[in-house]
A and B are shown apart, each in its own frame.
Chain A
Amino acid sequence: MSEQAPFVRIVDVVKRFGDAPPALDHVAGEILGGRITGLVGPDGAGKTTLIRLMTGLMAPEEGKVEVLGFDTVTNAADIQASIGYMPQRFGLYEDLSVQENLNLYADLRGLPLSERAATFNELLEFTDLKRFTERLAGKLSGGMKQKLGLACALLRKPRLLLLDEPGVGVDPISRRDLWKMVENLTAEGIGVVWSTAYLDEAEACDSVLLLNEGKLLFTGSPAELTSRVAGRVFKVSGISQGRRQALARYLEDENVVDGVIQGEAIRLVMKPDTVPPVLDEGSPAPSAAEATPRFEDAFIDMLGGGPGGRSKLAETQTAFSTESAKPVIEAHGLTKRFGDFTAADAITFDIPRGQIFGLLGPNGAGKSTTFKMLCGLLKPTAGEGRVAGFDLRRDAAEARNRLGYMAQKFSLYGDLSVAQNLSFFAGVYGLSGARKRERTQLMIEIFGFGRLLDMSAKDLPLGLKQRLALACAVLHEPEALFLDEPTSGVDPITRREFWTHINGLVEKGVTVLVTTHFMDEAEYCDRISLIYRGRSIALGSPDELKAQVASAALPDPTMEDAFIALVQGSEEKEAA
């Protein structure tokens, strides 16, 4: 396979937009046929720009890109005739039905009429969309849109398939389906480019181009990258004290490069030739076992290691007394019906003080509905939700005073400056005078906003936006934090930093409810409720859920395995 000429040759490419630092800074690489090449990096790394350069829709400023032997600047039309491209938002017409979208792209790509029936049939089978041909594309779920977008890109077997973040906003099950479909294509010799911010997706690729802030960090096979941390990754289990506290202390150790929580255990990346340190002399020592290195471990190592374990934010937080046994967030039979569709059906759980609780589930399963009912954005049809003992319907204002909220995509006011955003959120939560000054000043110090105060929030890099959103959510020292996909798209370092703060706050008695698509984030939770078709189909700690699906074939399932197995199990039960 390696004998063939590369499908894409990227030669020392530079691309700038305006005065900003270059979106692509001297990037070079090759993409081969018959394999999946991952274009990996956090948001803003330059992935979309690179894909657009390959389609010939953009011209590089310096260097050149050759696709299938054609130059993208001079022969864009020839390239466009032989590639399939799925842009980030799928390129579907939402007002057109599934079949109409397929017809349109078939005509545009010049698929001969004689081949149509067979091709449509094959693709609809392949994507499992046969039942929905009459449905408007706008009414499909995220995963289904993704599959339809892929089908449209595949109508006339392209030689090169370019997929821009096909995994975004898609639950693990749809993601896995999609991946299988694409793998089948490579067997036919098609070259696939799959761009992603999820590092676990990167691991499954045949080769990767790893981008960060426009620079190429690595190119080669994922195994080659992970080999740099071989023998340095450990899973520490049997931790007697709180695992959050333990992680914080590990991260302060100079030999620890990176650490994350994995259910009851902690995963550590050590500096070469070091072993995990012993935390307490007296207590029973936790056992450290070597673990298989992952792509993310290597990425963090490459970036020079994760942040420390101390959270200044948590240190200045007034502790909430953990003595009272009363739960801080309660859901009792929460039900929401839209017409005759039940989006959430009698969801019940409670979260004691100082715990992280995760809501997981496929798209449209009801986890957002549940989340929204609990923070007062939706009125439940039946049941009740309480925050800090206050009923969300009767004492809404009291309840809201005690909760902090951080939404997907960090809904800040983009046109307001950093200082104005802080001042607004302080005001809205009733802080004034000296206390307002004190709290905002503190946030500015902790998150290092000093030089950025006059910058509009929309101009901040993603990582800083995320920090500002967190600062705004905790300004008023809430008892409960509601986090909706809090770290989607941000780089792993910022993600670590974020969880360090959250872990620290939780240790001070703050209670956290989080919804997420990131299996890594699910691992940070004390307990998880898996929501499917409006009902909670599993409730327990990450390790308990994993244990539920462990089998001889899969003795050590990952969180994603557990998720998929539990959902499929529930489906089978329903079918039976």
Chain B
Amino acid sequence: MWWTRLKALIVKELLAVLRDPKGRTVLIVPPILQLLVFSYAATLEVTNVDVMVLNRDNGHWSQELVNQIKGSPTFRSIRFTDSPAEVRMAIDTQKVIAVVEIGPTFSRDIEAARPAEVQVILDGRRSNASQIVSGYLSRIVGTLAADTPSGKRMASNAVSVVARNWFNPNLTYQWFMVPNLVASIALLIGLIVTALSIARERELGTFDQLMVSPLRTHEILIGKLIPPMMIGLFHITIYILAAVFIFGVPLRGSLLLLYGSAIFYLASVVGLGLFISALSMTQQQAILGAFLFMVPAMLLSGFATPIENMPAWLQPITYVNPLRYFLVIVKGVFLKDIPAVEVARQTIPLLLIAIVTLSAASWLFRRRLE
């Protein structure tokens, strides 16, 4: 009996989302946009850099330095100038991100084994990109220095730093981005579909129809909970397939662990969605509510920037963010093959969040009936 009722409700929920053009749009457009924009456009890598060179030296070594910069794939164009005013202008108007200034005695200093100096001016308004560019330039300068006579002499006990990147040897940005997207798409879709489901019924007046049917409150909640979870799992699956087959991200850990924890993650997301839904009277409010939760959730999850970079007093706030935990799991399973114990350790908070939000939602839900 209860199964017949529940099945009818679940089928109806799925159909309602899939047959409604708006619902279909929500299911199709944001995921595609997210996949395209994030995986191709949202990169913190810095390429196609424009630099300017102010070269007051006409010796061999300055030419060598320019050639090395030219030869690096990171730099797109080099402009030359001999006026400091132009340097100022180019940086001010962001025509270039960095200017390399070579003094008149540069080559002579090197030949004479005196310490030579180049100045690098960087645009601090784009400090992140500037830092990376500065890293590139330092490496080029370092390589050049090793070629100089005095550099060669010193090289014997100059300390070299040999870096090895674990999990992602070439630091491919998409290997980082796409697993993150697996987690965030489920948040986006799960939250919106759930937040809208009750608000839509309220607006259309069908909610009363449900309430007078023999469905019990917990059955309605379960019926509202399972379809968004199924949809979320569907999106997760599509994204995992895209990650492996389109973006070539290695899947090193166990899918079973990933899906097992995904259930708890989705339950906590859907719980939040139900909570928002129970609070809002209209679809409009539900959307704004979901948006209001989603933006901080994305920014404070470790997706954009690592949590440990945040101020200490802010970090505890991220404990209630389900995305925080699932990001660790997805990235871990994909790239690092993290052990099951660690997955479990990240899943427990998800379970707690799910329990709290679901009971809060059902409490609100019942209270609304008064």
Contact = CB atoms under 8 A, between A and B. Distances in A.
Is there a direct interface between A and B, measured as CB atoms under 8 Å apart in the complex? yes
B4 A432 contact: yes
A415 B9 contact: no
Given A377-B212, A401-B214, A427 B205 contact: no
Given A415-B20, A420-B12, A427 B7 contact: yes
A401 to B, nearest CB: 5
Contacts of A397: 214, 216
Given A420-B12, A428-B8, A431-B4, A413 B212 contact: no
A417 B267 CA distance: 29
Contact of B1 (A400, A416, A417, A430): A430
B137 interface: no
Which residue, B7, B205, B212, has most C-beta atoms of chain A within 10 A? B212
B15 to A, nearest CB: 5
A403 interface: yes
A429 B213 contact: yes
A376 interface: yes
A414 interface: yes
Interface stretch (A68-76, A275-283, A316-324, A404-412): A404-412
Contact of B11 (A396, A414, A424): A424
B369 A430 contact: no
Contact of B19 (A408, A415, A424, A482): A415
Contacts of B370: 378-379
B212 A482 contact: yes
A401 B8 CA distance: 15
Contacts of A456: 19
A423 interface: yes
B263 to A, nearest CB: 25
A287 to B, nearest CB: 43
Nearest to B19: A415
Contact of B208 (A377, A424, A425, A427): A377
A183 to B, nearest CB: 35
A180 to B, nearest CB: 33
A161 interface: no
Contacts of A424: 8-9, 11-12
Which residue, B23, B210, B369, has most C-beta atoms of chain A within 10 A? B369
Contacts of A401: 214
A415 B15 contact: yes
B171 interface: no
Given A411-B205, A411-B206, A415-B20, A376 B9 contact: no
A400 B212 contact: yes
Interface string B215-243: 11000000000000000000000000000
B9 A416 contact: no
A359 to B, nearest CB: 16
B214 A430 contact: yes
Contact of A413 (B206, B208, B213, B369): B206
Interface string A367-403: 0000010011111000000000000000011001101
Nearest to A420: B15
B16 interface: yes
B209 interface: yes
A401 B208 CA distance: 15
A426 interface: yes
Contacts of A376: 211-212
A420 B19 CA distance: 11
B369 A378 contact: yes
B295 interface: no
Contacts of A378: 369-370
Contact of A408 (B7, B205, B212): B205
B211 A377 contact: yes
A21 to B, nearest CB: 23
B15 A416 contact: yes
Contacts of A405: 208-209, 212-213
A378 B12 CA distance: 25
B341 interface: no
Given A415-B19, A415-B23, 9 more contacts: A375-B212, A377-B208, A379-B369, A413-B16, A420-B12, A427-B5, A427-B8, A428-B5, A429-B5
Those 7 A-B pairs whose CB atoms lie nearest each other, nearest first: A427-B8, A411-B205, A415-B20, A415-B19, A405-B212, A411-B206, A424-B12
Interface of A: 372, 375-379, 396-397, 400-401, 403, 405, 407-409, 411-417, 420, 423-432, 456, 482
22 contacts: A376-B211, A377-B369, A379-B369, A379-B370, A400-B212, A400-B214, A411-B206, A411-B209, A413-B204, A415-B19, A415-B23, A416-B15, A423-B11, A424-B12, A425-B8, A427-B7, A427-B8, A427-B9, A427-B11, A428-B5, A428-B9, A431-B4
